[in-house]
Amino acid sequence: MRIIRPRHSRLAPRQWMYRNAWKPITAAVAVGGPAYVYYTSRSDRQEIFNLPVKVKGADGRPEMTTRAIPLLPIEQLVARIRERAIENTHSPPGGPIWKFTTAALASNDPIEDANAHQVIQRDESDPSAPGDYLFFAVMDGHGGRDTSQLLSRVLIKAVALELSNLVTDPNAQPSAGIMQKLSSLMRASPSQKAQAALDTHPLRVSRAIESAFTKLDTELISAPIQILANNLDAEARKNKVIPDLSQHPLALTSMLPAISGSCALMAVFDTAHKDLYVACTGDSRAVAGVWEKTADGKGQWRVEVLSEDQTGRNPNELKRLQSEHPKDEADYVVRQGRILGGLEPSRAFGDARYKWPRAVQNTLSQAFLVGNGRPLRPPPTLFKTPPYVIARPVVTHRKFDFPTDTETDAPGAPRFLVLATDGLWDELSSEDVVSLVGGHLAGLKGTIPKSDLPTLVPTSAGYLGIDGKTKRKEDASGSWAFADDNVSAHLIRNAFGGGNETRLRQLLSIPAPYSRRYRDDITVTVVMWEDGKEDAAKVTTIKSKL
């Protein structure tokens, strides 16, 4: 039976290592031996298992104990996997059919992930019409959900606004902050919104997306500083007195999104010019499945990774970080794959503890947080020359195509793109994900041995990117489950056991906050497109079936 192992935390290194094994609850524990998980199945009472957990001891120090955890029914857990699952279809007149699904599963309570999507339809006055812009984004929050929730509301609009500036005046420098301009964009008429992104030069578009990410983060972490500056009178400035702004209406609204953090991954499809842009800040990942012919006529899916995991384990990120800080910090700017030994992603929105100078952190904490009983944690011990974390994304550009009857042996065969937060990639490889989506599209049903899937769904390796994750032990045994109509929910189920129902129940029965040591929040968006000859435009939303 597969062992359940604790996973790494996003915010701090793992301090304990366990060997966990499922054994009868009546088994004895050897004195001085490792901590074990125990499992029992009793017909006369609810199934339970004992889980080693970390708690605060009487002296305030962490210590290990066990908790009895109810083993939840599979029906309840499947309903949880599908609870946030939605499916959308967008069929513009005479254009391709777009299908996109999203599902999310919480480990934190509340979930710290977020997601967003938006379809911007070109109006008739657009010289590039017909065609649409499709935006998809997943956000992986850490240290709270404030940053990811804010990004889910404004990040797509910020990118659309920056692209719009390229059209109106490519050399213009906006005088107002991006947050102010966003409010006007949100109130814009549909025809104005349709003009949000018209530029067709890939390099300029990529730079505009990069600029939107960077400007938005600057606004986000500068907001509390601006509020403080606006509330300092002459006397306070003269005497260097920090006012108590803890009850200011924007105190927590501005501080919390700045001090929590979030990775962000965005895909932008320009259907008029068949351009795909992927912007990555952090360690979420974008993986494409590209259908290609084979000599035997059966075809296969080529795995193409369109982003890099931006952590200290990525040699490109390590080199960048070392180049941006003094040479005497080169040995510890990344420790154990983490920034200053603490934060795992090397790029993120928010995370002001890695960006504000120490004096600014102390001042803002005193002004906004101390009075609320929530003082800011001090920066890492090795903190000297901020910023150590940036929000500037790496933007990649690819052309995409729409299949035709002559290109494949299956008319209208879809291509697809998977965007997912790192909780999925902690459990599945890029190759696993492409195979699972390919099998789902092929109509596989039931339980499939893992060893059989490569034969049923052949794949080939394209660009596999740079894996910035802790190396996983591949488990070739076991089976995959093809039981969910929603392909995003399908991936989440298989991340936590698939056809191994016992493992699925064990992992998903662990409640917050203990679950965080064994699995992360997961958000998955899958975008599929195929040639279509629809007569009328339509966008539909379908709630996943329970």
Q: How many CB atoms lie within 10 A of CB 468?
A: 25
| Cα–Cα dist 343/427, whole Å | 20
pLDDT digits (tens, 9 = 90+) for 179-218: 555 544 444 443 344 343 445 689 999 999 999 999 999 9
Residue 30 has pLDDT above 70, yes or no: no
Grade residue 414 by pLDDT with cuts at 50, 70 and 90.
low
- The terminus-to-terminus CA distance of the chain in angstroms comes to 29
Which amino acid, one-letter code, is at 528? M
pLDDT digits (tens, 9 = 90+) for 63-91: 999 999 999 999 999 999 999 999 999 98
| Cα–Cα dist 345/312, whole Å | 7
Beta strand 285-292 with 415-420: parallel, antiparallel or unpaired?
Answer: antiparallel
Tell me the residue length of the chain: 546
| Cα–Cα dist 81/545, whole Å | 11
Give the pLDDT confidence score for residue 125 in this predicted structure.
64
Write down the H helix ranges in 93-233: 146-168, 178-186, 190-193, 202-230
How large is the average pLDDT for residues 41-53? 75
506, two tokens: 């064990």
Give the pLDDT confidence score for residue 454 in this predicted structure.
95
> SS3 of 321, please?
helix
| Cα–Cα dist 540/513, whole Å | 36
Minimum mean pLDDT range among 91-105, 308-322, 441-455: 91-105
| Cα–Cα dist 289/526, whole Å | 11
Give the pLDDT confidence score for residue 58 in this predicted structure.
87
Residue 538 has pLDDT above 50, yes or no: no
- On the 0-12 / 13-18 / 19+ scale of CB atoms within 10 A, 31 is exposed
The residues with which 542 forms a beta bridge, in sequence order, are 87
Residue with tokens 């009857």: 405
Query: What's the sign of the alpha-carbon dihedral 287, 340, 224, 171?
Result: negative
Q: What is the dihedral of CA 307, 313, 317, 323, to 10 degrees?
A: -170
Which amino acid, one-letter code, is at 232? L
* DSSP code, position 347: B
Grade residue 234 by pLDDT with cuts at 50, 70 and 90.
confident
Tell me the C-alpha to C-alpha distance, in Å, between residue 229 and each of 180, 184, 544. 18, 25, 48
Beta strand 300-305 with 459-461: parallel, antiparallel or unpaired?
Answer: parallel
Q: What share of the chain is helix, strand, coil (3-state, %, to 5)?
A: 30, 25, 45
The residues with which 197 forms a beta bridge, in sequence order, are none
Q: How many CA atoms does the CB half-sphere of 297 hold within 13 Å?
A: 2
Q: How many CB atoms lie within 10 A of CB 221?
A: 21
Contact 255, 345 (CB under 8 A): no
How large is the average pLDDT for residues 256-268? 98
Contact 135, 118 (CB under 8 A): yes
| Cα–Cα dist 495/428, whole Å | 6
Tell me the C-alpha to C-alpha distance, in Å, between residue 123 and each of 119, 190, 238, 443. 13, 9, 56, 37
Residue 121 has pLDDT above 90, yes or no: no
Q: What are phi and psi of 257, to 5 degrees?
A: -65, -25
Which amino acid, one-letter code, is at 472? R
| Cα–Cα dist 280/164, whole Å | 21
27, two tokens: 């088994």
| Cα–Cα dist 269/528, whole Å | 11
Q: pTM for the whole thing?
A: 0.86
How large is the average pLDDT for residues 451-475? 84
Residue 127 has pLDDT above 70, yes or no: no
Q: What are phi and psi of 116, to 5 degrees?
A: -160, 155
Residue 115 has pLDDT above 70, yes or no: yes
What DSSP letter does each residue of 7-75 carry, written as one string? ---SSS---------EE-TT----TT----EEEE--TTS--EEEEEEEEE-TTSSEEEEEEEEE---HH
| Cα–Cα dist 479/331, whole Å | 43
Q: How many helices (H) and strands (E) does the chain have?
A: 14, 22
Give the pLDDT confidence score for residue 189 in this predicted structure.
41
- 113 sits in the region (left: phi over 0; alpha: psi -120 to 50; else beta) called beta
Q: CB neighbours of 183 closer than 8 A, spacing ≥ 6?
A: none
How large is the average pLDDT for residues 50-65? 89
> SS3 of 320, please?
helix
Tell me the C-alpha to C-alpha distance, in Å, between residue 118 and each of 33, 155, 270, 279. 54, 11, 12, 16
